[in-house]
Structure 1
Amino acid sequence: MRARGGVGMMETMTSPKNPTGPGSSFAALVGSSYNDPELCGEVPSLETMSAAAPEVPEDVDAVELRDLAVRVAGQAAALIRTRRAELAGPQGAGLHAHHTKSSAVDPVTEVDEASESFITGELLAARPFDGLLGEEGAARESSSGVTWVVDPIDGTVNFLYGVPDYAVSIGAVVDGEPVAGCVVNVAQDVTYAAALGHGATVVRGGSSPQPVHPRTETDPALSLVATGFGYEASRRRAQAEVLVRLLPQVRDIRRIGAAALDICRVADGSVDVYYEHGIKAWDCAAGTIIAREAGCAVVHPGMEADGKDGAIFFAAQPSVAPAAWATLSEAKGTDKIPA
């Protein structure tokens, strides 16, 4: 399959065949560094926020990749629910971090590791020549042109505490851009999925798939903004300073604690904007293609990002994206915040 070229916002948003803008490259700012002076110093134009969709090799079918991601993510979510019930006990007191990563407040549980082991095993069984990049250590070079970027539990702190916002995130990346993906809200049984050029859908419980639509608010002052914080104290301090400057300029702030779900909530209209500094590739690979296929604008730091340089991830519904970027820039929120 070969991807379509990019289209402008008006074509994307008004197409009678694809009213939600599947394959929309307005979604992007693709290929533009977040610290490009044109983007940080000025309000980006709609032309600036349009770019060509990534090319997909002829022998790669984005729909098949999406369907595989949906199957495996759904099975991993079931595994997580089962293991949590077994480990937590009636009061939820049996769950503990197995070890920590970037800081003492960045936990890993045995369920994270079990989920990643299951996911990577299933993906390689189905597609043995693909690459892997996983939060808990999976790393494998691709000989097919496709790399799976996996977060086995996005929102591990929520998982530990029983906050019902943690997810399985599986994205398929080709030439540095996601072309298919699935995000499952494990506790709430909500599944988001997308394939390049085929739109984004959501399934809630046992319902049939429904198209995903973002909101259409045009004023940043009336926009609901989601964000998140790093695990390092110095980065958190700087992120809080940005938030102090931004909060008076927007409707309100939401901090959910799972980047993949934040991105999907931009896509489905639950929030208008999401930004965060220093997120990693597995946090945003699947969410990026879901948001883009819903017609949203996305700036990502790269699908090999380790988060250390503190580059920004930004997703916004298309009506407010340029103005929201400008508002965030005025709050110094488009600058890097290194760890």
Structure 2
Amino acid sequence: MARQDGMAVISALLIAAVVAVIAAGMIERQGLQTRQVENRQMALQGQWALEGGLQLSRRVLFEQRLRDPLVRGGQPWTRPLRDVPSGSVRFDGQLEDEQGKFNLRNLVVDGQVDSEALATFQRLCALIGIGERLATAIAGQVIDSYPQRPPVSPGSADQGLQGGRATSPAVAAEALPARRPMLRSVDALVGLKGMDAEALQRLRRFVTVLPAMTWINGNTASAEVLAAQVPGLPLQQAMALVAERDSGRWFINRGDFVNRLRMPQLAMANVRVGINSDWFRLRGQARLGSRELPLQALLRQREGQLPDVIWSRVGA
């Protein structure tokens, strides 16, 4: 009888243990499902917050263009987009004028390397501490990412016509395909030999990649970019010019910029600096507690319309 009682106790304990294990598993699965639901809700709220921040940045740029066609510091678009609420999620963001930077797209014009733009980029790299070897590698990768036309020797077209042959200029100048994928941002250079995190961070401050060729905006460019862009302009003089500009003496037109350089030997045609900008980058993040969802987007201004979103990237 005692033995039967002992077996009954053991059976009861085993059943209780099994029930406890099953219950623990159910609780764990329920907790996992709850966390998955919370993560999905966070992702959805984050997406809405990012979309709200993106649309706000478009409105800010649109309204700024209506008020003042010049793009300069101190305007509403330069202010941080902070704590824009979207439910329980907050969006923080900042717009940057991409035409205050050197545009790597300028290195190739009509399928040919632009020697002036290449020299500008080399000067800029020297000013910001990017070594010559790395600068050459960057330029090479950018140049290889665009179709290129072989150089045409002088007089070759005339010789063809004089020979009576119906040579097609289009065939003679046919572009060679790009040898590398086209870069969408400076971050795409991360795998380049010699490129470390510090060099990439420096490049982000002074260099951009845009879908079209652009001029520098003299009202937003750094002293380093201006010194590189204007041949013969010393960095110290560029720094003084930027300090004067940022004190409120903004450039009102291209001629004003050239005159204030005080370089009479400089031909205006050689100065690719203006006072307007069409390209802006938005960097921001949606925040819920300690969790963040980052966003980058490239915007292009359009006359009389909200800016176009050329591309946007979430989670980068």
TM-score of the superposed pair, with normalisation by structure 1: 0.27
Higher-Rg member (1/2):
2
- Decide which structure has greater helix share: 2
Q: Which structure's relative contact order is higher, taking Cα pairs within 8 Å and 6+ residues apart?
A: 2
